Amino acid sequence: MLPACSAERTRRCASSATAGRSPIGSGTSGRGRSPRSESARRCRLDEAEAHLRGALEGPADLRHFALQHLGKTLLDLGRAGEAVEALESALGLRLAAGDESLVASTQLALEHARGRVD
């Protein structure tokens, strides 16, 4: 099972948000980010991880979606091994559902994640 988001990480994100740091999605591709904006990006990804883990407890028909996006978030956080685990779970659910476009999307993300595992 994938580990839960820590309370410490949640606390850091809350303090970053009140410090006026810029949110993720500022239009940069990751190059040239200031340490402050990189910290804010990291906190937004940590928040996304926590929300997606919570969504895993929600409706079963949306679990594949939460796992897919959790995998992509973990990959952005530099945790490729955990990303592969989440994406493999998403793939299994999407194969069972038989939606070819969702299967293809997950296979592409999984291939990318596997390429980043050390």
pLDDT tens figures, 88-113 = 999 999 999 999 999 999 999 999 99
Say which range, 7-11, 24-28, 85-89, 91-95, has the weakest mean pLDDT.
Answer: 24-28
In this prediction, residue 2 has a pLDDT band, given cuts at 50, 70 and 90, of very low
Q: Which is higher by pLDDT, 72 or 27?
A: 72
Q: How many percent of the chain have pLDDT more than 90?
A: 67
Q: Which is higher by pLDDT, 79 or 22?
A: 79
| Cα 57 from chain centroid (whole Å) | 16
Q: Using one digit for the tens of pLDDT, what is the confidence trace for 59-76?
A: 999 999 999 999 999 999
- CA gap 116, 87 in Å, rounded: 13
Sign of CA dihedral 95, 101, 107, 109: negative
72-88 burial code (b ≥16 CB/10 A, e <16): bbbbbeebbebbbbbbe
Q: For 22, which DSSP code? A: P
Q: What integer pLDDT is reported at residue 34 of this predicted model?
A: 80
Q: How many percent of the chain have pLDDT more than 70?
A: 72
Q: What integer pLDDT is reported at residue 70 of this predicted model?
A: 98
